[in-house]
Structure 1
Amino acid sequence: MNTRRDFLQKLTLSAAVIPFLPGYSPSSLTDFSNHPYQGRVLRVAILGLGSYGTRVADAMQSCKRAKLVGAISGTPAKLKEWQSKYNIPEKNCYNYDNFDQIKNNKDIDVVYVITPNALHKEHVIRVAKAGKHAICEKPLSVNAKDGQAMVDACKAANVKLLVGYRMHFEPKTLEVIRMRKDGEFGKVLFFQGLSGFTIGDPTQWRLNKQLAGGGAMMDIGIYSINGARYMIGEEPVWVTAQETKTNPEKFKEGVDETIQFQLGFPSGAVASCLSTYTMNNLDKFFLNGEKGFAEMQPSTGYGPIKGRTHKGELTQPHMTHQTIQMDEMAAIIFDNKKPVVPVDGEEGVRDLKIIDAIFLAAKTGKKVSLTV
């Protein structure tokens, strides 16, 4: 159990054994249920063939509007394995040194970057310069400055930059957002986000400051940051934070173990959140308003998400997150569809601005003002 993704897979039911349900079509999601899709298909190459890259590749086998056609890796054996497993042509396989040549490959529309956080900036900018759209796994980068450089590079190249915010397409999450927008909770007062697990292998890249840009906050705490924003429906204007470190040998300088942080919003709503690499049994969101509440646990795991509100249990069917994400991103890229919650590069930069402020608040002990 060396990674967040391994943990979440065991914490919840494996998405692999829960069937994709194409018949469920909430109004905010693309409807493929009435007839087979016959339009343009988004042709995707995945850069970074680790555990999450494999999860995305597996989920894409059920996509209606996106297809895995390429692979990029520094490990030749993985490329061979993916060619066989996913029927990928050899001409669509690249390594980290030569993948700029995708600019000459008309069979690839977009590259999904799933590499360590500190490599996102270089890889996305190279993808943009090759004239391809980019999807980047979150966090977008290791700080807001680098994230903005990625946004600017994609704009200059006239390509889209999207971020792998799979929860922005998750049906139960979208139902809570709908209820909040429709005023069913009344004035929102409070949000709680608990994000964490006990991380394993101390030598993995997620505990390497140079590759990860931090620790738990970059990996798992970002879910509570992003969740606070889309659940409350506002952008925070201040943050306070407190860091706790019980194992400095495992969590070295610049690698956060546990951070509690608080966010304040223009309406007066507040959020209280926890990001940690040393506690299990978390993954919980709670939203409280004057007229009602929403509680989700698991709130961001691979599924099925479970939740209830003051009106009862959330019953929207489970949909494999990465499957619906990639189909919806095809609609965003080809049709300029506007998702309920943005997944563009600017959205990624907003989260990074908040992470930068959380780190500053934890270091100084002061309230930090925010403009995101």
Structure 2
Amino acid sequence: MSNSRRNFLQKLALSAIALPLLPSYATSDLDQWSTIDPQKPVLRVALMGLGGYAQHVAEAMQSCKRAKITALISGTPSKLEEWGKKYNVPEQNHYNYANFDDIKNNPEVDAIYVITPNSLHHDQVIRVARAGKHAICEKPMAINAEEGREMVDACEAAGVKLLIGYRMRFEPNTLEVVRMRNDGEFGNIKFFQGLSGFRIGDPNQWRLNKELAGGGSLMDIGIYAINGARYMIGEDPIWVTAQETKTDPIKFKEGVDETIQFQLGFPNGAVASCLSTYNMGSLDRFFLNGEKGFAEMRPSTGYGPIKGRTNKGELNHPHVPHQTIQMDEMASIILDGKTPILSVDGKVGLQDMKIIDAIYRACASGQRQELDLT
């Protein structure tokens, strides 16, 4: 990427970061989280990109037992000042996008959480790796699989971890469904449906700018159905077909998808039927069907509480902010070498990018696309 294009994207991003767009809804892993030992080392985190979603992360981290905010990175001085006071981050730990490479000399930072527009993730995560810090990157990890591979390779070369902000992979009701499936309680899985979408607002926001978002609804909200199909079925897909529908080409310009329907095929014969949209509300539903039973989650990926039921009854794990559990669990992964129930490493993110690339190819060609996620 040229310096001029990078500078353009950085400047555009800093002025465009908007509030989060997911709907707000108010066992095993929750029990593990509730018994986390606060005497163990704390993960010291720098937040990069102080926009709407970062606010959710920062607030949730106030309840973390093993993760805390120790540095801030933003191109807006007033935000650095405001957030520094609010979260007790001293001025010497404030950075901007030009000088954050200096964070390599800061022993008060273990990891940097990149929460910026999609097209900036690639360069920023590689810079984080070169600074010798662990990288946590918001989803989607990049705008295509090629960029994702370069990010994974850079972190491996630097000897640092790369984790993706897949908060649902730590959510207790979700993990209860995964446990039931693993224990054979649903029998052979036959079908999954994932509905992900909402009506997007401001037409000038960065999520509707292809240069910053890398696409449209699929990148932002459809990725939940992609990732959800994988962890709910418990396999990785081997083919995909897809169809795009666009009713408002003014709001959803070339390269910014409004609505995509896609279908995934899995090795065991299961199929998934999914919808990703920026132009429909009242969605956010997962449905898993097996020979012996079913699981339904609605809402399935919103900020919470997640609600669901199975053929055996209601799912009733108490709600804890997803980002609180996520950051404490990521502290355990980074500091203790913990293996989570569902992986959130860069390779999982890269596999999702390969699926997204294939969905876009399927839309353009009208042809089924074979997948190799190895």
Cα 1:33–1:191 shift into 2, 3 Å:
closer
1:229 maps to which residue?
A: 230
Pairwise mapping of residues 261-280 of structure 1 onto structure 2 (< 5 A)?
Answer: 261-280=262-281
Q: Quote the RMSD (CA, aligned, Å).
A: 1.3
| Aligned position for 2:133 | 132
Q: How does 1:104-183 map to 2 (within 5 A)?
A: 104-183=105-184
What's 2:45 paired with?
44
Q: Deviations over 1:178-210 (max 9, x none)?
A: 000000000000000000000001111100111
Which residue identity lines up with residue 206 of structure 2 in the other structure? W
One-letter amino acid of the counterpart of residue 38, structure 1? Q
Unaligned runs of 5+ in 2: 1-16
Contact 1:239 1:261 survives alignment (8 Å): yes
Query: What TM-score comes out, normalization by structure 1 length?
Result: 0.94
* Matched letter for residue 259 of structure 2: T
> d(CA) in 2 for partners of 1:121 and 1:3?
20
For the Cα contact (< 8 Å) 1:4–1:197, is it kept in 2? no
Instruction: For 1:281 and 1:4, locate their aligned partners in 2 and report how far apart those are by CA, in whole Å.
Output: 19
Q: Note if contact 2:18-2:51 (Cα within 8 Å) is conserved in structure 1.
A: no
1:321 matches 2:322:
yes
Q: What TM-score do you get using the length of structure 2 for normalisation?
A: 0.93
Percent same amino acid among aligned pairs?
69
Offset from partner CA, 1:18-48 (integer Å, 9 cap, x none): xxxxxxxx34457464586111000000000
- The equivalent of 1:8 in structure 2 is 23
Distance 1:39 1:30, change over 3 A: farther
> Which AA in structure 1 matches 2:232?
M
Taking the aligned partners of 1:310 and 1:35, their CA distance within structure 2 comes to: 32
Tell whether the 8 Å contact from 2:33 to 2:325 is kept in structure 1 after alignment.
no
Q: Partner residue of 1:21?
A: none
Could you list the structure 1 runs, at least 4 aligned residues long, displaced by more than 6 angstroms after superposition: none
Per-residue displacement from partner, 1:135-186 (whole Å, max 9, x unpaired)?
0000000000100100000001000000000000000000000000000000
**Mapping of residues 22-101 of structure 1, within 5 Å:** 26-28=27-29, 31=32, 33=34, 37-101=38-102
Assess if the C-alpha contact under 8 Å between 1:4 and 1:199 holds in 2: no
User: Within 1, Cα distance between the matches of 2:276 and 2:36?
Assistant: 43
Decide whether aligned partners of structure 1 residues 33 and 302 sit closer, same or farther in structure 2, where only a CA change above 3 A counts. closer
Whether the 8 Å contact between 2:28 and 2:175 is mirrored in structure 1 is no
Q: Is the 8 A contact 1:4 1:220 kept in 2?
A: no
Contact 1:160 1:333 in 2 (8 A): yes
SS at match of 2:256: coil
Distance 1:212 1:255 in 2: 8
Asked if the contact 1:284–1:297 (Cα under 8 Å) also holds between the matched residues in 2, the reply is yes
Q: Helix, strand or coil: the match of 1:210?
A: helix
Q: In structure 2, do the counterparts of structure 1 residues 272 and 4 end up closer, same or farther at CA, with 3 Å as the change threshold?
A: farther
Question: Relative to structure 1, is the Cα distance of residues 34 and 308 closer, same or farther in structure 2, using a 3 angstrom cutoff?
Answer: closer
Task: Give the letter for the 1:229 counterpart.
Answer: R
Q: 1:32 to 1:206 in 2, by over 3 A?
A: closer
Compared CA separation, residues 35 and 354, structure 1 to 2 (3 A): closer
Q: Which amino acid aligns with 2:196?
A: S
Partner AA of 2:55 in structure 1 = T
Q: Is the 8 A contact 2:195 2:286 kept in 1?
A: yes
CA distance in 2, matches of 1:35, 1:212: 36
CA distance in 1, matches of 2:278, 2:54: 22
Q: Which amino acid aligns with 1:305?
A: I
Matches within 5 A, 1:336-351: 336-351=337-352
AA in 2 matched with 1:5: P
In structure 1, list runs of 5 or more residues that go unmatched: 14-25
CA distance in 2, matches of 1:41, 1:310: 40
Q: What SS does the corresponding residue of 1:154 show, helix, strand or coil? A: helix
Alpha-carbon separation, structure 2, partners of 1:357 and 1:183? 31
What is the identity, as a one-letter code, of the residue corresponding to 1:219? D
Q: Aligned partner of 2:20: which letter? A: R
For residues 242-285 of structure 1, give each alpha carbon's deviation from its aligned partner in whole angstroms, at most 9, with x where no partner exists.
Answer: 00000001101100000000000001000000000000000000
Q: What one-letter code is carried by the residue in structure 2 that aligns with 1:189?
A: K
Determine the C-alpha separation between the residues in 1 that align with 2:231 and 2:263: 16
